[in-house]
Amino acid sequence: MSDIKKSMFLKGLRRITLAVTMAATPPLFAAEAEPEAEPAPVAIEPGARVGIAVAAVTEAAAQAEKMAAEYQADQHHVQKIAVIHVDTYDALRASGLDGAAAVRHLAVIQGLSLDNETLADVAEEVDGAAPHAFFIRNGTRNGQQPACLVVTAEPLAAFAIPDFTPEQMTRFINRHEFRHCADPLFGPPQEADRHIDYEKEQQRLQNGEFTPFILRQTLNVLRGETYADIAAMGDMIARDGDSPEIIDKLILFRQHMFGTSFDMTHYSKSGLTALKAEIDDMGVDAFRALPPESREEMYRHLALESLPSPVALRTFLEISVKKITPEQAEARAAGAGSAAGAEIRAGIALYHDSVAGSKMMMPPSPRFHAYIVMSHVEEENTREELLARARETDGRITPQSLTRARTHILNNLFQGLEQNPEDHVTAARSLQLREIYTNLMRSPETFAPAAPQAQPQRRAPHMPPDPS
């Protein structure tokens, strides 16, 4: 199993707990359709491929590249930080390249040399269009060197943090992912875990067994995600000038994710609350005036201090998958010593926090209903609006005009959700637009002069990506 696959191991934890706790509810997502055969590649000269990729770079992609350079200068534990924006990747796919070849092209121009297995794994993750950071091994003249690769994408209205503008969402996504690269504890599996059989651990996880390895990995990921949230908020306040009020908005968002999608590994509420308290105590101006290394030390400390103990985590998970009830956990705590009992009760409190999160009535709720609504929204209208807007901006359908049209429509959808946060149809259209745009961009026939409006195959809805 590759390092990238191992880094994605704990995605299974969310799926297991979500499946168990929602077993009594109707299915939310359609089954995946059988994959369609890819169209034959169109013969395009290499120079044209580069031209398409450069022309399709959006403002969000340009910002991501700028941040890659910013965080490269901030850290010294990885040799290289590189970025793949989904828009640029899609433009290369439109030229006829397959996923691995598109990743190879973007890696090479950023000074990365990746093996075939890594190229295929990265392409698979980019195809999902979910922002993510990977630890990778870069082949250099001095041997394999540690590197970090960030996949980033245009934010969707259905996945927006309440009261964040599209521009703030883009900055938060980018800063969060690049902060993983600046995390000195982010990297390959620890030496002590190299003997672990990941396939067996995955099976145990599916059976509801929470082994010491799974608990340790969950806490490692939670620490990393909490650090990335804390540091991204700190950077937005100190470097970008945002108000500290953005922390409260992210806390509510993570609380709702925790309760509604059972996303334990992104539950950064405790760390974010501690960051807000630190800033309130010293004042925002004093916080911004701190040396960068002092802020960095604060971020790392808060991320570690806010973690639950392994006992608390196990208690929370066992209640969540209905192995035990909260009452049984409380009886266990009463029979334990004071220290162990306190840890068990902390796990019970985590469970009640997740229940509270699931009952919250707040704007992110459309993201959990949008996939149901999407099947009832007329797809043809969305496709025609996208193509018409692309022709209007450039007179014809090109990768860059299609990308600009997509961004324009997405911004309108953001505004619609700001006016009516519970508008599930608008949220569904943002998801539908992503699928239609992606299918059009990855189909070379879209840009063929003879058939500019070729109808691509529609993909079945899939599980929503994790906003990390």
Q: Residues 109-121: pLDDT tens digits?
A: 888 888 888 888 8
Residue type, 173: I
- What the block records as the tokens of 210 is 């929470």
- What the block records as the tokens of 314 is 């196990």
This prediction's pTM:
0.78
Summarize pLDDT for 338-347 with one digit per residue, the tens: 999 999 999 9
Whole-angstrom distance, CA of residue 432 vs CA of residue 221: 30
The neighbouring-strand residues paired with 145 are 138
Whole-angstrom distance, CA of residue 343 vs CA of residue 311: 6
86 CB-side CA count, 13 A: 25
Would you place residue 309 in the very low, low, confident or very high pLDDT band (cuts 50, 70, 90)? Answer: very high
What sign does the CA torsion over 88, 92, 98, 103 have?
A: negative
Average pLDDT for 166-193: 82
- What the block records as the tokens of 276 is 């807000």
pLDDT reported for residue 258: 82
Most trustworthy range by pLDDT among 186-190, 202-206, 464-468? 202-206
Most trustworthy range by pLDDT among 34-38, 145-149, 337-341, 434-438? 337-341
List the single range of 3-12, 46-55, 301-310, 379-388 with lowest mean pLDDT.
46-55
